[in-house]
Structure 1
Amino acid sequence: MVRPHDDGSEMQAVLDALDDATCQRIIVELDQPMTASELSETCDVPLSTTYRKLDDLSEASLVAEETEIRRDGHHTTRYRRDFEEVVIRLSEDRRLAVTIERPSTPDERLEQLWGEVRREAR
C-alpha cells in the first residue's frame, strides 16, 4: 500500500525522523516487533530517549504500535517498522512530496489474490 504525504507538517515529521541517528538505529533494529525496553537495550539508548524517538517515528507513520495482552491481564506495547520504502520526489507542481510504501495487510493480500483468481478464471 502506498500512502502519499503531501501535507508539509507530515513530510517534515518524516524527514526529521529519518535525519535523526537514534531514529535510524531504531528503524534498523526493528526487523521484528520489540518493546521499548528491548530497543533501549539493543540500541544502547536511555529508555526515556527511546520513548521520545518512538513517538517521533510514530508521528511520522514509520513505526506502528501493537498491544500484546498477557495471560496475567497486563499488556505490553511492541513497536514494529511500518514501511518498506520512503520516496521523496519533486511533484509536477514542483513541490516536494513524500510517499511511504507500506507492507500489505492480510486483507489487502487476500483482495489481491482474489483479483488474480477472477482474472485467470475469465
Structure 2
Amino acid sequence: MHSMSLEFSSSGDAPAFEHVVAALDDDGCREIIAILEEPMTAHEVAEATDRPLSTTYRKLDRLTEAGLVQEAVGVREGRHQKSRYVANLDRISIGLDDDNELRVDVDRAANLGLWSNIQREF
C-alpha cells in the first residue's frame, strides 16, 4: 500500500502540506472533490455546485496545486479544446513522520489511469 502513497513536503515538486490542508479546509473545494467522480469541465463543476465560474476556477486551481485534482486531457469541441478535471485520490491521511513533522499521505485513485488520457466526443 505504501507504494501508492505520496509524501508531500515543502521542498521539491510535491505540493506542500499547507496547500493540501488549505484545500481540505475549504467547503467549496470539498464539494468539488465530492462531485468529481468522473471528468467534468469547469462549467459543469460550476453548474453542479451552483457557484460562479470564476470561483470554480479558483477552487480547481487550489485543488490542482494541492495534488487532489488532476486536469485530464482536453476534449475537442469543434476547434476548441476543453479541459476536464477529475479527483485523483481515494484516501488522505495526516500523521507524524520520524522527525515529528506533519506529513500528508494521499492514496491515489486506482482508476485515474482510465481518465488521464480520456478523449471523448460530445
If the length of structure 1 is used for normalisation, what is the TM-score? Answer: 0.80
Distance 2:20 2:43 in 1: 23
In structure 1, the partner of 2:37 is 31
Change (3 A) 1:50 1:71: closer
Deviation string for 1:13-47 (max 9, x for gaps)?
00000000000100001011101011101101110
Gaps of 5+ in 2: 114-122
Deviation string for 1:50-73 (max 9, x for gaps)?
000000000000000012342623
Larger Rg: 1
How many aligned positions are there? 106
Deviating more after overlay: 17-26 vs 2-11: 2-11
In structure 2, the partner of 1:51 is 57
Gaps of 5+ in 1: 107-122
In structure 1, the partner of 2:27 is 21
The secondary structure found in structure 2 opposite 1:70 is: strand
Q: What CA RMSD, in Å, does the superposition of the two structures yield over aligned residues?
A: 1.7
If the length of structure 2 is used for normalisation, what is the TM-score? Answer: 0.80
Aligned residues with identical type, % of pairs = 41
Normalized per residue, the structure richer in helix is: 1
Distance 2:79 2:43 in 1: 19
